[in-house]
Amino acid sequence: MKGLKEKESNLIWLIMAFAAGVFLFYPLGKLLLKSFETAGGIGIGLYQEVLAGKKFLLVAGNSVGIAGVSALLTTILAFVCAYSLHFSNLPGSFKKIIKNLCVLPMLLPTITYGFAIIYSFGKQGVYTRLLGRQLFDIYGINGLIIGYIIYTFPIAFLLLTNTMAYIDKKFVLVSRVMGDKGIKTFYVAVFRPLLGTIVTAIIQCFFLSFTDFGIPASVGGKVKTIAGLLYEQMLGSVPDFGRGAVIAIMMLLPSVISILLIWQLEKTNICYNSIENSEIPKGAIRDGILGIMTTLIVSGIMLVLLVIFLIPFISGWPYDLTFTLKHFKNVFADTALTGVLRNSLYVSLATALFGTTISFFAALVATRSKVGKGKKNFLDILGNVTNTIPGMVIGIAYMLTFTGTRLQTTFTIIIICNTLHFFATPYMMMKNSFLKLNSGFEATGKIMGDSWFQSLYRIIIPNTVETIFSVLNYYFVNSMVTISGIVFLTGARTMVMTTKIKELQHFAKFSEIFVLSFLIFLINLTIKVIFKGVKKYEKVI
């Protein structure tokens, strides 16, 4: 009996290991090898060449600096919003609205934010026109910082609110009773316990901004980033795969460091066992200030996003301001664009199903099997490695590995790329949810005469169905908005909406770009609402 269960687990592990070998370690190895390939055999010649050029160092400096500043600003802004949600007596309805609005940008591709910024604050932007003058130059550093903030704000916000929910609010009270002044209370009861998460948020935001491709592609202007340079080396007019490989490997460095730091921080996080929602002390002035600040931050972000919902309905910005549906009609009449819409839906659905299946079984084997510590560690490493690797690096590794094979420009390779690219979070989510289940469930099932498969669908799946839906949702939405990896992999038959936006950008077809962005948002919102509804329904049952 026992042997049986191990057999299945071992087999699943074997399939995972094989897949990881073919689709992760082999392509990465190939990329690494390519970066060391020189005319005279294996050597560090290309690295010397790239590092000697002043362009690379300048661009690397740009990327690190701008991503760093954005990360810091984002975390401060996100902290204010999260803080007013947890440590104020602002009305519940206000908190609920803020909470929902804060995560809204996640439903849109980053390349769209860039265009939204151009149409908000550009020379002919909506707000420039309303105010009568341009507030600041959007191309370059300003645009990048705004774009990165909008992009990473939801992630920082989620990290901070999650941890704040676990902070014992009684500490605030205790600190007050002990006679601490306001600032000291804040430091002792809020800031210090949160320090780990704050640093994690900064690093996470830095990592995301540093590796993002969409925002510099749209508002970078003359300021080049590593992501842009990498794209130019691989798909520019004079491609140089060797140098591209070197830059890709270099891009990996800050990513690896970021993840290692986060890893280290997670170990030191303070853990509270009992969370009691005690009263927050009254403070009308505090609530007022927090309310205003939060409203300003959130509406700032919403103002930029608002453009995405305006422009598609305007005949010809800025000359013809009449309401129209013609842009939507045009998109739906264009078989190339509807094809792209279909492809996107297909890729996202397939990735959601495939990715959820993979992360479900990987987490199951890692938490509830007896395959041995080494094998379990391998799965954890897989999770960490995929977390570290920027999408662009996976895309380039795949381009080097699978060009000329049957997989080139197929949906299969795109789906596999997405599954791997976003594997880390679903794997952790599934693992956490499996760990919460009583470890005796399977044993009980076995006594009752259930097979492994029976206990799987009678006990395990029903008890983790909420997490499964979250994972499905996560994979779907991320596949809808991603561009960095798959921009190197799509072909004429497999073009998706984000890569199409990149193509439309080249021809400055902004009406279509905004219509597609709007549709991406609508689809993601629908999926989110559906999964939320299903989860509620499950709870009722």
Partner 1 sequence: MKKLFSGSVVVMLVVVLLAGAMTGCKKDVSASGEKEVVFYTNADDEAVEAMENALKENGFDGKYLIQVFGTSELGGKLMAEGTNIEADIITMSSFYIESAQVEKSMFQDLDFDTKALEEYPSYYSPITAQEGAIIYNTEMLESEGVTVPKSIRDLAKPEYKDLISVTDITGSSTAWLMIQALINEYGEADAKEVLHGIYENAGAHIEESGSGPIKKVRTGEVVIGFGLRHQAVADKAEGIPIDFVDPTEGNFTLTESVAIINKGENTNPEAMKMAECIITKGRPALLETYPIPLYEGEAADEKNTSGNPKTFKEQLTVELLKEHQAFSEECK
235 near partner 1 (CB under 8 A) = yes
Least distance (Å) between residue 36 CB and partner 1: 19
- Rounded distance between C-alpha atoms, residue 244 and residue 47, angstroms: 11
- Rounded distance between C-alpha atoms, residue 362 and residue 288, angstroms: 48
237 near partner 1 (CB under 8 A) = yes
Question: 409 Cβ partners below 8 Å, 6+ apart?
Answer: 489, 490, 491, 492, 493, 494
Query: Does an H or E element contain 479, and which?
Result: helix 461-481
222 near partner 1 (CB under 8 A) = yes
Which of the residues 252 through 271 are near partner 1 (CB under 8 A)? Answer: none
358, 422 contact by CB (below 8 A): no
287 near partner 1 (CB under 8 A) = no
Torsion angles phi and psi, residue 322, rounded to 5: -75, 155
89, 282 contact by CB (below 8 A): yes
Of positions 330, 338, 357, 377, contacts partner 1 by CB under 8 A: 357
Of positions 111, 245, 250, 495, contacts partner 1 by CB under 8 A: 495
Least distance (Å) between residue 123 CB and partner 1: 5
Q: Using CB under 8 A, which of the segments 150-158, 348-356, 433-441, 520-528 binds partner 1?
A: 348-356
Where would I find the beta strands (DSSP E) of 128-262? Answer: none
412 near partner 1 (CB under 8 A) = yes
Of positions 394, 415, 486, 515, contacts partner 1 by CB under 8 A: 415
12 near partner 1 (CB under 8 A) = yes
Q: Using CB under 8 A, which of the segments 41-49, 62-70, 247-255, 448-456 binds partner 1?
A: 448-456
273 near partner 1 (CB under 8 A) = no
Where would I find the beta strands (DSSP E) of 269-399? Answer: 314-316, 320-323
The count of C-alpha atoms lying within 13 angstroms of the C-alpha of 76, restricted to the half-sphere facing its C-beta, is 7
Distances (CA, A) of 90 to 98, 185, 263, 276: 11, 20, 34, 19
Least distance (Å) between residue 164 CB and partner 1: 38
Which of the residues 137 through 156 are near partner 1 (CB under 8 A)? Answer: 137, 139-140
- Rounded distance between C-alpha atoms, residue 36 and residue 49, angstroms: 11
262, 424 contact by CB (below 8 A): no
Of positions 100, 403, 439, 526, contacts partner 1 by CB under 8 A: 403
By beta-carbon proximity to partner 1, the closer residue of 148 and 521 is: 148
453 near partner 1 (CB under 8 A) = yes
By beta-carbon proximity to partner 1, the closer residue of 159 and 365 is: 365
Could you count the other beta carbons within 10 Å of the beta carbon of residue 141?
20
- Rounded distance between C-alpha atoms, residue 279 and residue 374, angstroms: 47
377 near partner 1 (CB under 8 A) = no
Tell me which amino acid residue 117 is. I
- Which spans of this chain sit near partner 1 (rule: CB under 8 A)? 4-5, 7-8, 11-12, 15, 19, 122-124, 137, 139-140, 221-222, 232, 234-239, 241, 317-318, 336, 346, 350, 353-354, 357, 361, 403-404, 406-413, 415-416, 451-454, 456, 491-495, 503, 506-508
